[in-house]
Amino acid sequence: MASKDQQIADMLQPTVAALGYELWGVEYVAQGKHSVVRVYIDSPNGITVDDCAAVSAQVGGILDVEEPVAGEYALEVSSPGVDRLLFALGQYASYVGEMVELRLRSAFEGRRKFKGILKGIEGEDVVIQVDDHEFLLPHGAIEKARVQPRV
């Protein structure tokens, strides 16, 4: 079964695409009365505040009608930013050679957090080099992945 994040993303993707943006990803953070739905959009021309407002108005209406989230929630629409989260396996390819941080859903070789150089993709696995060791981590096991900005 798809996660709540994925269900919401699947619901919103056609509308975001029709507005001329790429749906980069969705995060649903359940916090009782203070739940948050974060929608990340991207465009080759970058994202402005007006872009976020336009998408927010459209997807807010869809979420109100479809009600994928029980109770009250805050809707946030933004660009992925320079320290962007990676959601889909296909997004990783553009960041090979970059420093990334990964957090797994459960421990692998005694750890859940990995920070290193993204080496590539092998099938459904993400390859990351931490110090002198390469790890092949199943994409489905990754809870959160973030590209580290260059300084």
All residues at 6 or more sequence positions from 75 whose CB lies less than 8 Å from its CB, including other chains: 36, 37, 39, 56, 59, 60, 63
Final residue belonging to a domain, choices 44, 78, 112: 78
pLDDT higher than 70, residue 1: no
Integer Cα distance of 77 and 12 in angstroms: 12
In this structure, is residue 54 part of a structural domain? yes
Confidence bin at 72 (pLDDT 50/70/90):
confident
In this structure, is residue 84 part of a structural domain? no
Confidence bin at 27 (pLDDT 50/70/90):
very high
**Residue 122, Cβ density class (10 Å: 0-12 exposed, 13-18 middle, ≥19 buried):** exposed
33, 55: one domain: yes
pLDDT at position 57 is 96
For 3-7, 129-133, 137-141, which range has the lowest pLDDT when averaged over its residues? 3-7
8, 47: one domain: yes
Give the range of the structural domain holding residue 42, as residue numbers without chain letter.
4-78
94, 143: one domain: yes
The secondary structure of 75-127, three-state, reads EEEECCCCCCECCCHHHHHHHCCCEEEEEEEEEECCEEEEEEEEEEEECCEEE
The average pLDDT across 132-149 equals 95
Q: Supply the pTM of this predicted model.
A: 0.88
69, 13: one domain: yes
9, 73: one domain: yes
16, 45: one domain: yes
The average pLDDT across 125-140 equals 96
8, 52: one domain: yes
Q: How many domains does the chain have?
A: 2
pLDDT higher than 70, residue 95: yes
CATH code for position 19: 3.30.300.70
